[in-house]
Amino acid sequence: MDEDFGIPPVEGMNEDMDLPDDSSTLKVGEEKEIGNQGLKKKLVKEGEGWDTPAPGDEVEVHYTGTLLDGTKFDSSRDRGDPFKFTLGQAFALDEFDFASRLNRYADAFYFLIGQVIKGWDQGINTMKKGENAVFTIPPELAYGESGSPPTIPPNATLQFDVELLSWVSVKDICKDGGIFKKILTEGEKWENPKDLDEVFVKYEAQLENGTVVGKSDGVEFTVQDGHFCPALAKAVKTMKKGEKVQLTVKPQYGFGEKGKPASSDGGAVPPNATLQINLELVSWKTVSNVTDDKKVLKKILKEGEGYERPNEGAVVKC
């Protein structure tokens, strides 16, 4: 959004943010209240599939914003430029303040705030790809008593005609803000590697300034043993075959307070450095325990056909 009419960042935590009601039963032309704070959604065009964006995902929309009297105050359609933003954003409270009030470890809990008004966060995460809806947003979920001069008066109820064009999934895979995973290319099927499996990956790791500190066009390792930094093993366990992702890795899952000296495998990583890692899970070999004592392991080199297996006493041909 431009500077004059952009939706400003939320100043504080979304303390009164309610989870939206399921609007999947909404039919074209119908209107329904979402949550219990007065947010309404009218379906204009149905979307595709069943999936909806989650907090942390990077969404792309077209929108037109109007007052209840029809006065238009902003439109990405008029500019011909879709609006991109993060649906919710993770941050941690100060450790002492957090722990003293909740008696928990601060680094284990993250809260969601918005880059946009609350009505957008609550409404857009009910939408499917390609869906078009009109949201009527009360002032409590918009600009409140202050408004947004000169175009939005105080205590104004707003209407936004929104089309959800697309979104990129971003997941906090360790639930502590240490590794964020953005899916660049979806993988195949549904299986994920396990601790004993041998994965084959490609990756490139950079510092925030773009300096490459590690790269491989193909390396194999056992998941539980890891490779390069702890983030790789954590990430591959959430990936499917052929999946490509971009990881944002905080120091605790990178090289921590000590960093890493330069070597033949890559450049130096300074202490407490955040890394950006592009990672592709090319394939993996499934390894499983055959015996309860874990003395016999089976590695699958080539997948078989069907689901049947020989029972005890069966005659097999190799």
Residues with a catalytic annotation lie at 63, 73-74, 117, 143, 160
What's the rounded Cα separation, in Å, for the pair 56 and 59? 9
What's the rounded Cα separation, in Å, for the pair 194 and 75? 47
What's the rounded Cα separation, in Å, for the pair 169 and 176? 17
Helix (H) or strand (E) holding 97: helix 95-102
Task: Report the Cα 101 to chain-centroid distance in Å.
Answer: 28
What's the rounded Cα separation, in Å, for the pair 310 and 23? 48
Listed in sequence order, the residues at least 6 apart from 148 whose beta carbon sits closer than 8 Å to its beta carbon are: 8
CB-facing half-sphere around the CA of 149: CA atoms within 13 A: 2
